[in-house]
Structure 1
Amino acid sequence: MSRTHTRRPDRRGPVSTGEFWEWWGERLRDGGFLVERIPFDGLESWSFDPATGNLGHASGRFFTVEGLQVREGAREAWSQPVIHQPEIGVLGILVKEFDGVLHFLMQAKMEPGNVNTLQLSPTVQATRSNYTQVHQGAGTKYLDRFVGPGRGQVLVDVLQSEQGAWFWRKRNRNMVVLATDDVPLEEDFCWVSPAQIRELTLRDNIVNMDARTVLSCMPFALPDEAEVQGGGTFRDALVRSYQYRSEEGGGGALHTPGEILSWFNEAKTRIDWTARLVPMNDVGGWTRDGWEIADAAAENFRIIAVRVEAGTREVAGWTQPLLHPRGEGRAVFLARAVDGVVHLLVRARPEYGLMDQVEMAPTVHLHPGQGLGDVPEPMVREALLAGGSTTRYDQVLSEEGGRFHHALTRYQVVEVGEDFPLDVPPQFCWMTVRQLTDLLRHGHYLNIEARSLLTCLYGLW
């Protein structure tokens, strides 16, 4: 496939917003992108194991589609397909200071499952199979900045989970690395400022899921008290929420870190189920034909196959399976100002595919096909009805486009009033933004939807 090269000559450092969109349009035009659905027998190097029914690659790498079985005591509760990708990939953002401001080296990356093809991704977004070149394609650009002896100063390095409903114990290495030398700029990459990142999170389907999870772990410069104007607005209360964590109670936070960890551990002890991988042939209620694996009720996701062409990727063309949700999900943090400090209502949420079974999640997380009637708590459900609250953030964002096909989630931050109780059921806890971001120095605390929403919050101050 031929490819037109239209490198801008002045993109070695910061760019204006107009220049960014000019570069973005060039990358979209020059990509030569094509994604088409194909039958399973059109997959190349992928096949169903005749003994297990699992769908895997001939190399034994990348990922497999297997069965997940959930048991309550001695009884099987239900089962479903799940993506099993045991290797740990790298999601890394390279940062560099320009005129005293850290900028992020971001990539315009095509993923076959993206609803709009191209989205803004980390500098490096690669599975181990990809960056060890199992696909026999080109090497991963800038990988040496994150692994090996020549890498830069590491600011963030933490293993974080991904969707526990669709992955089996999936983790990626979230990294931020500081460059102090000159960085040669490849054509699919651009330096982006924090202010531009905040602006881009206010647009649908631009900042991809992998960028959102790394950015949530990024130690942004915290707002100081001088940025609080008058003290009465939601923004002022949000700025204070970035400041307060409260080691001993008071000081703006409802709970101390010790109280939060005790609440979280208590939630884990309430788990009374187990989950395990099983052969796809043992998954009940799901059928396979030549085009998809689907549940009999047609209410859940499907597994499909696609053929891909992309002139900007390490391999120009390939085929693969994708998980295709039916409809749009929803993830909502309820927010309430308490003594002038925004608190988020955090849920301890079990998910069957999580390594640690439970992680901290938004107040509400609805999978595609679910609605407000599936929210069990009346006080939460009523807060989301029109007229009962103020929506501060509301954008539709894509989930991981390398494994999911057109997986969209409506992300919201909804402010509730003083009539919403501070005394909440045991699965919930009020926390400041600072308390949540402090936990991101460690893995297995905040789930992927919570991390996405924390990144989106940056756009509100």
Structure 2
Amino acid sequence: MAEHENLDWLRGRLRASLHAEANDPSELIEWLQGRRKQVPFSAHLIALRDVANWRQDDDGNIYNVSGQFFRIEGVRVQSAPGLREIAGWDQPIFTQTDGGVLALLCRETPDRGVEFLLQAKADPGNIGYLQFCPTIQSTWENIRGLKGARRAPFAECLDSSDNIRLIYRSKHNEEGSRFWQKSNENMILFVEDASALTVDDSTYRWASLSQIKQMMLLDNVVGPYVRTVVAPL
């Protein structure tokens, strides 16, 4: 398949760039720590009844008044003996009609070899709030700019273009203990001419695969989706 050929091609480029790519992630970590201090972002737990713009329907399911995002519904599970710890249980579970996209843009330069564009993304449940995430980590609603949502940065790179080489694309199930039959599209996109990109240096940083692997050994620096996207490499 053509996509697998591109994956083999990128693996070859990664091997060829080992002599040039950076290994020490210190500068990236210092930058992230600095951004954590500078970005005005905070979160704390509040009573569920006080959460704005979320309601319960007649069945008790929780939904957003905009009709976007996820819902919280109930699921009843029955399991074959020995498959799980107990034979069955009930629990709340997130339901969402559309999954999302987890995409890493990458480039190659003579001086630094192959690099991946990481996003310092803030989420309320993160330890340290900001963590390195894929270039695009977004729902399809935001990618398409639906219902007034601001279109996700670099979403145009998902469109067919002579400047973009699709390395691989595959769907991965979101964590099934929390999400009902939701899958995200994981992909790596090689940018032939990265000078055509407009990169906000206050949010995005280029990193080699070696730097990413080093940062994965540190606590709460790299978000989990980066791991899943680079796993095929």
The answer to whether TM tops 0.5 is: yes
CA RMSD of aligned residues (A): 2.2
Q: What does 1:4-15 correspond to in 2, within 5 Å?
A: none
Task: Tell me the residue number matched to 2:71.
Answer: 64
Q: Tell me which of 46, 50, 60 is aligned to 1:53.
A: 60
**Residue aligning to 1:211:** 226
The answer to whether residue 201 in structure 2 is matched with residue 194 in structure 1 is no
Deviation at 1:25, TM superposition (A): 2.7
In structure 1, give the amino acid aligned to 2:183.
Answer: R
Report how many aligned residue pairs link the two structures.
201
Hey, what's the Cα distance between the residues in 2 that align with 1:195 and 1:77?
A: 44
Corresponding residue of 2:140: 128
Displacement, 1:130? 2.8
Higher relative contact order (CA 8 A, sep 6+): 2
Give 1:48-447 correspondences, 5 Å limit: 48-49=56-57, 51-71=58-78, 77-99=88-110, 101-133=113-145, 136-146=148-158, 148-150=159-161, 152-181=164-193, 182=195, 183-186=197-200, 187-217=202-232, 219=233
Give the TM-score normalised by the residue count of structure 1.
0.41
Please list every run of 5 or more consecutive structure 1 residues that lacks an aligned counterpart in the other structure.
Answer: 1-13, 220-461
Q: Kindly indicate whether the alpha-carbon contact (under 8 Å) linking 1:86 and 1:169 is maintained by their aligned counterparts in 2.
A: no
Is contact 1:90–1:125 with CA below 8 Å preserved after alignment? yes
- AA in 1 matched with 2:60: G
Report the CA distance between 1:138 and its aligned residue: 3.4
User: Following the alignment from structure 1 to structure 2, what is the Cα–Cα distance between the partners of residues 134 and 62?
Assistant: 12
Report how far residue 154 of structure 1 moved.
0.3
- C-alpha separation in 2, matches of 1:17 and 1:128: 31
Deviation at 1:206, TM superposition (A): 1.1
Match of 2:9 in 1: none
Partner amino acid, structure 2, of 1:58: V
Which structure has the greater CA radius of gyration? Answer: 1
- Secondary structure, counterpart of 1:205 in structure 2: coil
Change beyond 3 A, Cα 1:164–1:48 = same
Judge conservation of contact 2:141–2:149 (CA < 8 Å) in 1: no
- Identity among equivalent pairs (%): 30
CA distance in 1, matches of 2:29, 2:127: 19
Superposed displacement of residue 72, structure 1:
5.5
**2:29 alignment partner, SS class:** helix
Shift of 1:109: 0.7
* Structure 2 counterpart SS, 1:21: helix
Q: Which AA in structure 2 matches 1:115?
A: I
Are residue 26 (structure 1) and residue 40 (structure 2) matched? Answer: no
Is the contact made by 1:92 and 1:174 (CA closer than 8 Å) also made in structure 2? yes
Gapped regions of structure 2 (runs ≥ 5):
1-20, 81-86
Q: Which amino acid in 1 is paired with 2:227?
A: R
Q: In 2, distance between residues paired with 1:193 and 1:126?
A: 23
Change (3 A) 1:72 1:123: closer
Quick one: structure 1 residues 135 and 111, their matched pair in 2 at CA, closer, same or farther if it must change by over 3 Å? farther
Instruction: Report the CA distance between 1:192 and its aligned residue.
Output: 0.1
